[in-house]
Amino acid sequence: MHLGNYLGLLENSEKQLCDAFEHVSKKHRDEPDIEQMCAKLSAWSREHRGKVMPFVEKYSKDKSKEPKDLRRDLFSEKRSGSLALLRDLHDLWLLTQEVHLCWTVIQQAALGLRDEDLKATYTFCYARTKRQAEWLLGRIKQAAPQTLLVAA
Partner 1 sequence: MTETRDSIKDIWGPRTGYTGQWPVRVDEQTTETPDHWVQSACVLCSNGCGIDIGVKDGRIVGVRGRAVDRTNYGRLGPKGLNGWVANQSPDRLTKPQIRRNGKLEDATWDEAMELIVSKSKQIIKEHTSGAIGFYTSGQMFLEEYYALAIIGKAGLGTPHMDGNTRLCTATAAAALKVSFGTDGQPGSYTDLDTTEAVLLVGHNMASQQTVLWARILDRLAGPNPPKLVVIDPRLTFTAEKATVHLAPRVGTNIPVMNGLLRLLIEAGHIDPAYIAAHTVGFEELKKIVDKWTPERVERLTGVPADKLREAANILGTCKTLVSTALQGVYQSMQATAAAVQINNLHLLRGLIGKPGAGIYQMNGQPTSQNTRECGADGDLPAFRNWGNPDHIQQLADLWNVHPDQIPHWSPPTHAMQIWRYCETGSIKMLWISGTNPLVSLPDLDRVRKTIEKEDLFVIAQDAFPTETTKYADVVLPAAIWGEKTGCFTNVDRTVHISHKAIDPPGEARSDFDIFVDYSRRMDFRGQDGSPLLTSTWQTTEDAFEAWKKCTKGRPCDYTGMSYAKLSEGSGIQWPCNEAHPDGTEHLYTDGVFNTQIDNCEAYGHDLETGAPHTHDDYKLIDPKGKAFLKGVDYEVPHEVPDEAYPLWLTTGRLVYHFHTRTKTGRSKALNDAAPDSYVQLATEDAARYGIVDGDMVEVTSRRGRVLEPARVGDIEPGLVFIPFHYGYWDKPGRPRAANELTITEWDPVSKQPHYKYAAVRIRKVLA
Binding mask 50-89 for partner 1 (x = CB under 8 A): --------------------------------x-------
95 binds partner 1 (CB under 8 A): no
Residue 98's CB is within 10 A of a number of other CB atoms, namely 20
Choosing from 1, 26, 36, 66, the residue that interacts with partner 1 (CB under 8 A) is 36
78 φ, ψ (degrees, to nearest 5): -80, 110
135/152 Cα distance (integer angstroms): 25
CA dihedral 131, 139, 10, 122 (to 10 degrees): 0
117 binds partner 1 (CB under 8 A): no
Burial 116-147 (b: 16+ CB within 10 A, else e): eebeebbeebbeebeebbebbeebbeebeeeb
Measured in whole angstroms, how far is the alpha carbon of residue 134 from the centre of its chain? 12
Q: Which stretch binds partner 1 (CB under 8 A): 5-13, 106-114, 116-124, 139-147?
A: 139-147
134 binds partner 1 (CB under 8 A): yes
Choosing from 41, 56, 86, 125, the residue that interacts with partner 1 (CB under 8 A) is 41
50 or 138: CB nearest partner 1: 138
88/75 Cα distance (integer angstroms): 7
Q: Which stretch binds partner 1 (CB under 8 A): 86-94, 98-106, 110-118, 131-139?
A: 131-139
Residues that bind partner 1 (CB under 8 A): 30-33, 36-37, 40-41, 82, 131-132, 134-135, 137-138, 141-142, 144-146, 149-152
